[in-house]
Homo-oligomer: A and B are copies of this chain.
Amino acid sequence: MIVVMKRGASAKQLAEVIAKIEADGYAAHLADGDDNTLVGIVGEGRGAFQQAEYEALPGVARVARVTVPYQLASRQMHPRDSIIPLNGKPMGGDNVLVIAGPCSVESRENLLEIAHAIKEAGATALRGGAYKPRTSPYSFQGHGEQALKWLAEAREQTGLPIVTEIMDANLVPLVCDYADVLQVGARNMQNFTLLTAVGQSQHPVLLKRGMSSTIEDLLMAAEYVLAQGNAQVMVCERGIRTFEKHTRNTFDLNAIAVLKALTHLPVIADPSHALGLREYVPQVSLGAVAAGADGLIVEVHSAPDEAWSDGRQSLTFEQFAAMMASVKQVAQAIGRDA
């Protein structure tokens, strides 16, 4: 439920509404509407919800029902775009931000080379895997903390904030020591233990859509993080599993448009995983931006064909630089910047 305050409601009236919400066993969530302040009523309270009692409070215009199962993630409860700062730029604002880097961190030298190259091309943040979710237990599982240290060094040299995946709730404190954004991967989108842990961390979270998760599932997963009081969640379309075999996954362009309408959270596109084939990454990136994505996350490597993982979908430096120029053009065509 949402309590919509009257336009001129006083701070005291607002405080009384919040006090009642908490007294009833719920949590209150404040948001600005176009003209009104909204107070979301979240969670399971004591007894049945007494709508009339809230409507009778001074300063209350009306009480509205949230018609979707996610609450904090919904536009209904939070009409304005949420902005998450990334290296001084606002993810979710006028700019289209680009996160780039290797699939996995392979070596210090290689990572630094890539970091400098993507920075020069205009990237906003550096991605790189320290802990890798691999289908096979016998595959390279990532360099772990050593990789985190190299990522931190790359940030020091380039100023680019670090985005890296986390798979183990126990490692949240360690990864937070090094990373700027915690990525939750597609395979863990409904790992509720992990979602709760990253929620408690209060670190920005980049949450990828599971490969067979609906848009609603994705927003419910975001809700797990938000429900821990961590408002800094970005959601990411990275392709879903379908019958199509030519590409690794299917990039659901509808999802970009629908997510922008249903949620206030920044929406990011990952064309690299959606395609699995680097030659199409620039076109799909442009499509995602034109459809309204707030950001991109793409895999870039100094020598893709020698990459330890995901080489087939990683851009070369040249491809990435060319793509960045086009992204800028398309962003401007829809009134944004990149």
Contacts and interface: CB of A to CB of B under 8 A. Distances in A.
Interface of A: 42-44, 69-71, 133-138, 167-170, 187-188, 190-194, 196, 210-212, 214-217, 220, 223-224, 227, 239-247, 250-258, 260-261, 274-275, 279-280, 283-284, 286-292, 326, 329-330, 332-334
A152 B194 CA distance: 28
Given A257-B280, A257-B284, A134 B243 contact: no
A328 B117 CA distance: 33
Nearest to A217: B135
A254 B274 contact: yes
A201 to B, nearest CB: 16
Contact of A252 (B214, B250, B260): B250
Contacts of A242: 240, 242-243, 250, 252
A284 B254 contact: yes
6 nearest A-B residue pairs (beta carbon): A212-B212, A287-B291, A290-B290, A333-B333, A187-B190, A257-B283
6 contacts: A137-B220, A168-B169, A214-B244, A242-B242, A247-B258, A287-B288
Contact of A215 (B244, B256, B257, B329): B244
B280 A43 contact: no
A9 B334 CA distance: 49
A135 B210 CA distance: 13
A261 B279 contact: yes
A280 B258 contact: yes
Contacts of A211: 212
Given A192-B134, A214-B243, A284 B253 contact: yes
A169 B167 contact: no
